[in-house]
Structure 1
Amino acid sequence: MTDSNKPEGERIAKLLARAGVASRREVERMIADGRIALNGEKLTTPATILQHLRGVTVDGKPVGKADRTRLYRFHKPSGLLTAERDPKGRPTIYTALRNALPQDAPRLMPVGRLDLNTEGLLLLTNDGELKRAMELPSSGVPRTYRARTFGDITQGQLESLIEGVTVDGVNYGRIDANLERRTGRNQWIELTLTEGKNREVRRVLEHLGLKVSRLLRTAYGPFVLGDLPRGAADELKKHEVERFISELKKGSR
């Protein structure tokens, strides 16, 4: 396609993701559910090309101007769902975030998920494009966990995970795992991976014959949990976020 034939503007899903409405995939679902309209007319396809978001509404509310990309840390406690709402009425991360974030915080989306009983670092952003880029395995963003386990394991067995492993027909990629300390048959294990498949750490460790009693994410990319108190949240500095986005873009070339 020549430059003269290229459509002017971008797909609405990409624009809305950049504006912090939702990820592109979620925007596509919202369009299918009839929640997004342009000048009062419900949109039927995410392939709609626009130059701007004027006239676009979500659930009847106008879409505001896109804020700069912002990234927050949240120390997720165990027992919270990484979801906006739960049909069973269980508490979600947003229940805790209402008290942890300032009143003027933007609408935030979690970068990846943590299971109900997994705690630790959960990053949140207002930028759907950044969310998607950080979650893609092809981006190679490392996530580090510490797991308290019970059972017999050797460092040699853990090192075999560097080649990847298949559990119940699911292939898991490279995992860098190290035995931290042991007391009897209880031990802490640190694991770093880049895929982040559903319940990956628990399933891999259970495959090795271990019982996981506690799982904590300590880092996501260059961002670490550090001494952030449980249930607390804070915003990462603008220059840290911009530097990370720059490195992420370099890696995707």
Structure 2
Amino acid sequence: MASASRDGTPGPRKRAGRSTSASSGGQPGRGARKAGQPKTGSQYSKAAKGGAETGRPAKKTHRKGTSKPDVTSGKVRLNNARPARHQGGNAGGDGGASYVSDGVRLQKVLAQAGVASRRGAEELIAAGRVSVDGEIVVEQGLRINPDTAIVRVDGARVIIDETKQYLALNKPRGMQSTMADDQGRPCIGDIIAERVMAGHRMFHVGRLDADTEGLLLLTNDGELAHRLMHPSYEVPKTYMATVKGEVPRSLIRTLRAGVELDDGPVKVDSFTIVDVNNGASLVEIVLHEGRNRIVRRLMEEVGFPVRRLLRTQVGDVALGDQRAGSLRVLGRDEIGGLYEAVGL
């Protein structure tokens, strides 16, 4: 049975050791042709023009990157046929996708990541909706290294590494944003103790002071955590703050222009007055700063100290109705949104 070549069409089975080609007498060959030796009659392609009947060696067509895959037959055949052992190198030239002979088929990688069934993944590939390392892939059966390849579907990155964990914690008020506390105070390490004992080294993405509650991201993806915390990526964070005093609308312009603090100026991305009642105001603050107690110090500086502070969103990840002290696993779209926000 012919195996599938890189472009999804049936190709000749590669010979290793003993040849399986039929000789002119119908018997299997005794060995593969050595480099530099002329082809024998048994090694001519009978299907090629000027084959064994003319005594001229058949010219082998080099398919890689030249022929288009047969999408219709490829959807069916590649479900049942084994791809060629050697898938070649970089199909897109310098800076493009890289393929490895001992890697995992792309449609299998997509299926294992939960994107679609294998057949559905093949259809996505055939439709040109899948890219590897920035290069659109339309060929079926290509093998990649899932540990290093960056795979995207419709532009959204697919998370392949099953050892990576991405969690959202609704940190309760009074809990320390540390994995352990030498004073015995409650900390987020208490909540994820079982995961840590199972060998997962988790990072908390930034901190919330003990009196601040709400969304805190946890992951063992060190590169993502680092970028989310780095101010140059400007990932927005949203807070709901109850402050003392009735906030005037004129304060919005002041906060957008910037306020000088002891460690430098800070300005909000947006500021919304949600409610004013009985000498207190509920405001929504969006900013990408990550400095210590930045919201509390900012509002204190402009004369409206914070009574209660809740972080409700980081990037596209929202706290929603998640109960205090609970963990939830981030969805594929949420993880993809975080990766996109920091350029991964």
In structure 1, how many angstroms separate the alpha carbons of the residues matched to 2:312 and 2:216?
9
Match for residue 77 of structure 1?
172
Q: Which whole-Å deviations, capped at 9, do the CAs of 1:185-235 have from their partners, x for residues lacking one?
A: 111110000012110000011111112111000000000000111110011
Work out whether 1:112 is the aligned partner of 2:216.
Answer: no
Alpha-carbon spacing, 1:105–1:188, altered in 2? closer, same or farther (3 Å) = farther
In structure 2, how many angstroms separate the alpha carbons of the residues matched to 1:240 and 1:210?
34
Match for residue 320 of structure 2?
226
**Residue 90 (structure 1) shift:** 1.4
In structure 1, how many angstroms separate the alpha carbons of the residues matched to 2:239 and 2:279?
20
Aligned match for 2:299, one of 174, 187, 205: 205
**Residue 236 (structure 1) shift:** 0.7
Aligned match for 1:92, one of 158, 163, 187: 187
The answer to whether the Cα contact below 8 Å between 1:148 and 1:187 also exists between their aligned partners in 2 is yes
RMSD (Å), alpha carbons: 2.2
Aligned match for 1:144, one of 222, 229, 238: 238
Superposed counterparts of 1:153-192, under 5 Å? 153-192=247-286
SS at match of 2:343: helix
Structure 1 consecutive aligned stretches of length 4 or more whose deviation exceeds 6 Å: none
In structure 2, how many angstroms separate the alpha carbons of the residues matched to 1:68 and 1:97?
16
**Residue 78 (structure 1) shift:** 0.5
In structure 2, how many angstroms separate the alpha carbons of the residues matched to 1:236 and 1:128?
16
Q: Point out where structure 1 has 5 or more consecutive residues left out of the alignment.
A: 1-65
Structure with greater proportional helix content = 1
In structure 2, how many angstroms separate the alpha carbons of the residues matched to 1:239 and 1:148?
31
In structure 1, how many angstroms separate the alpha carbons of the residues matched to 2:241 and 2:227?
26
The answer to whether the Cα contact below 8 Å between 2:196 and 2:202 also exists between their aligned partners in 1 is no
In structure 1, how many angstroms separate the alpha carbons of the residues matched to 2:340 and 2:169?
23
Structure with greater proportional strand content = 1
Q: Point out where structure 2 has 5 or more consecutive residues left out of the alignment.
A: 1-160
Match for residue 17 of structure 1?
none
Residue 97 of structure 1 aligns to which amino acid in structure 2?
I
For the pair shown, the structure with the greater C-alpha radius of gyration is: 2
The answer to whether the Cα contact below 8 Å between 2:246 and 2:277 also exists between their aligned partners in 1 is no
Work out whether 1:244 is the aligned partner of 2:338.
Answer: yes
Give me the TM-score of the superposition, normalised by structure 1.
0.67
Residue 69 of structure 1 aligns to which amino acid in structure 2?
K
The answer to whether the Cα contact below 8 Å between 1:78 and 1:116 also exists between their aligned partners in 2 is yes
SS at match of 1:249: coil
**Residue 159 (structure 1) shift:** 2.9
Q: Which whole-Å deviations, capped at 9, do the CAs of 1:86-119 have from their partners, x for residues lacking one?
A: 22221111113348x7986833111110001000
If asked which structure has higher relative contact order (CA below 8 Å, sep 6+), I would say 1
**Residue 176 (structure 1) shift:** 1.6
Indicate the percent of aligned positions where both proteins have the same amino acid: 34
